[in-house]
Structure 1
Amino acid sequence: MRIWVKPLLAAGLCALALNTPAFADGAVTVLTPGGSVRDGGRAALWGPASQKLGITVNEETTDEGLPAVRLQAGAGKVTSDIVFLSAYEAELGGREGILEPIDYSVVDKSKFMPGTTSPYCVGIYGYATVLAWNTKTYPSKAPANWKDFFDTKAFPGKRAMRGNAETQIEVALLGDGVAPDDLYKVMSTAEGTKRALDKIRTLKPSIAVWWSSGAQHAQLMQDGEVDMSTGWNGRFQSAKKAGGKTDYTFNEGVLATDCFAVPKGAPNKELAMKMIGAMSNAKSQAELTKYITYGPVIPEAFELGIIPPETARLLPTHPDYRSKLIVQDIGWWADNNDRIKALYEDMMTE
């Protein structure tokens, strides 16, 4: 859920119509982040789906999906039919009344991992907050879980944590011995929140950096400036690939997703739902991994022989890791983000 501190809106929207059959019957507009996500979506998601359904797809590009939907809704002129959002953004958009409920009569959610679909959101891929470490600092015994991250006696060294409470509360409680199944139950109590913040307080003498971006925490590990860090699996893999003495584990990783949503008042709502249904299949999600190192949220994607074994092992939703992940409770964060953010910032500056 990498979404809480962002600029308001990317300047301008870039539109592109895909080549579709001459018999195309209708059109939808997809609001996409651009870059490798757009390229992969065009090749693996809406490209094949538009051919299958015989409709035209127009692409618009923005880095800020939810603000773009808010802007359209506020102006009373909704032009997008499908939008990429983080699951957290979709939760907020649903609560604000600016998203349509997903029509699960045309989208089969039974094939998805639990927690990767919601009333307003259909999962596309998952990424995880994980524990990374410097392999030079810990050459013989590597940290294996969040308890080890907080154990400065067994694993001395500099730490980095995010300067934003999101996922850091989860890892603190896991590091303090809370069972994954009880995590959000404990977080929902005042005692649980205090317990998490107090756990981080014990680590503050070893926290060298409060990171603020994926690029930053990846560079910290690549350059050996810290010995352990919280962060996103794809960024740590990039640091490792670039030659950094870095490794990471998916054990107790906190999984978040990006998803498809439909703005309230979308001009082609019914076609949009059909498109999401056509895009939501194992083959498309497997093909998407050729463009981005995020994990399919339809488990069957790993069974088709499309994803090379060496690539599959880098994805957080690989069958070997799935049972070790905690799917983030987006509803909890939507309810508590502002309060927890203030408490967390106070703790950092004490």
Structure 2
Amino acid sequence: MKRTTRLLVITIGSLLVAACGVGGGPAPGAESGQRTLTWASTGGQFQEDEKNALQIPFTQKTGVQFINVSPAEQAQVRAMVTSGKTIWDLANMSWIYAGAYCGELFEELDHPALDRSKFPPGTTSDCFVPTYRYANIFSYNADMYPGEKPSSIKDFFDVERFPGKRVVFDYPKNGLLEAALVADGVPPEQVYPLDVDRAFRKIDTIKGSLVFAPSYGAIQQMLVDKQASMVLTVTARTIVSAQSGANLVPVWDFTTTDIGALVIPKGTPNKDLAQEMLAFVTEPEQAIAYARLTGTAPSRPDVDLETVGYTEEQKRFNAFLPNRGVTLEQDKQWWIENTDALTARYTSWKVG
């Protein structure tokens, strides 16, 4: 299954989805010569964490000011680049877009400070490097299973022993396909390239118990209200759901991991400065500050997780700490090449 047409425009964030207005026009301060970067992201608490952990320290170090807009949508990037009026300098959006349209809609990264050897294998491309890492975590509500407890990814697909609704974010790269294959007996190291037919056959066995949530907020609400007994969702939302009252217990058997990325829209007049900011974001001090706020993991393996200062709640749901079963990084190139066809099939399968 190859990407033979343009990547479908799917409005997603790296962790959260928000619906706020997008700013336009020249950046304030541009006329006076003040250095300014426009940063597009997902809004809400997620973007506030970016401001506090990443932007404010850069301003204190360099004097560069930031203008924050949201949401960071692929359609907006295309419109800006096509019109020759790129006003965003950095955008927090799926690396799939940057991989699919590298050099066309997104700038290639060529700053010497962005040394790709600093990052885990398979997490970089010409147009993106990771700014943080997260996981698609399988958890269950302990209140809803007072007897036998789920203990492996196979239990997510066993509705006889473990009845109840399973909730996932409504997007095919949510970890469900990989989980289905491993639950069906595929060794984790052989998951890629994905056997999509086999994965959908396995998911078919629990289709009646699956809930496809339109937002991460909906996932959180379902878990708190006990409308779902199991969940497969991202690190930050798992933590927030537990903090909001859902009695979640993670199952460390098989877990897919992924990255968040800041990408640079093509045509920004501030490419060099944006790359300086991107390099700054991945430095240990900022990476630790951001991880401490969000519960995600720094993008660089040379950052000792013990130095982050995670809360006990964050530690419980951190897939990158020791003794967390098997973790598998989602294959970046496979997803870049196959997302068009897979998304079309996924959409058809849901309504079929």
Does TM-score exceed 0.5, indicating one fold?
yes
Deviates more, 1:278-287 or 1:143-152: 143-152
**For the Cα contact (< 8 Å) 2:133–2:296, is it kept in 1?**
yes
1:13 pairs with 2:23 = yes
The residue identity in structure 1 corresponding to 2:301 is P
The residue identity in structure 1 corresponding to 2:204 is R
Aligned position for 1:4: 10
Assess, with a 3 A threshold, how the Cα gap between structure 1 residues 203 and 124 changes in structure 2: closer, same or farther.
Answer: same
**For the Cα contact (< 8 Å) 2:22–2:71, is it kept in 1?**
no
Question: How far 1:133 moved relative to its partner?
Answer: 1.2
Deviates more, 1:319-328 or 1:280-289: 319-328
Aligned position for 1:42: 51
Within 5 A, what are the aligned runs for 1:1-350?
A: 4-5=10-11, 10-13=20-23, 26-52=35-61, 54-94=62-102, 97-103=104-110, 105-166=112-173, 167-185=175-193, 187=194, 192-205=195-208, 207=209, 209-303=211-305, 305-308=307-310, 310=312, 312-314=314-316, 316-320=318-322, 324-350=326-352
SS where residue 167 of structure 2 aligns? strand
Deviates more, 1:64-73 or 1:281-290: 64-73
Distance 1:138 1:180 in 2: 27
The residue identity in structure 2 corresponding to 1:79 is I
Q: Percent identity?
A: 26
**For the Cα contact (< 8 Å) 2:153–2:251, is it kept in 1?**
no
SS where residue 81 of structure 2 aligns? helix
Question: How far 1:106 moved relative to its partner?
Answer: 1.9
**For the Cα contact (< 8 Å) 1:236–1:248, is it kept in 2?**
no
Assess, with a 3 A threshold, how the Cα gap between structure 1 residues 274 and 159 changes in structure 2: closer, same or farther.
Answer: closer
Distance 1:67 1:256 in 2: 23
**For the Cα contact (< 8 Å) 2:132–2:297, is it kept in 1?**
yes
What is the count of residue pairs matched by the alignment? 336
Distance 1:109 1:214 in 2: 31
The residue identity in structure 1 corresponding to 2:223 is M
Q: What CA deviation, in whole Å up to 9, does each residue of 1:115-153 have, x standing for no partner?
A: 333221121222322212121232354223321211234
- What value does the CA root-mean-square deviation take over the aligned residues? 3.2
Question: How far 1:101 moved relative to its partner?
Answer: 1.1
Question: How far 1:199 moved relative to its partner?
Answer: 0.7
**For the Cα contact (< 8 Å) 2:20–2:70, is it kept in 1?**
yes
Q: What CA deviation, in whole Å up to 9, does each residue of 1:256-306 have, x standing for no partner?
A: 222122222221222222222222211111111343232222234435634
**For the Cα contact (< 8 Å) 1:130–1:231, is it kept in 2?**
yes
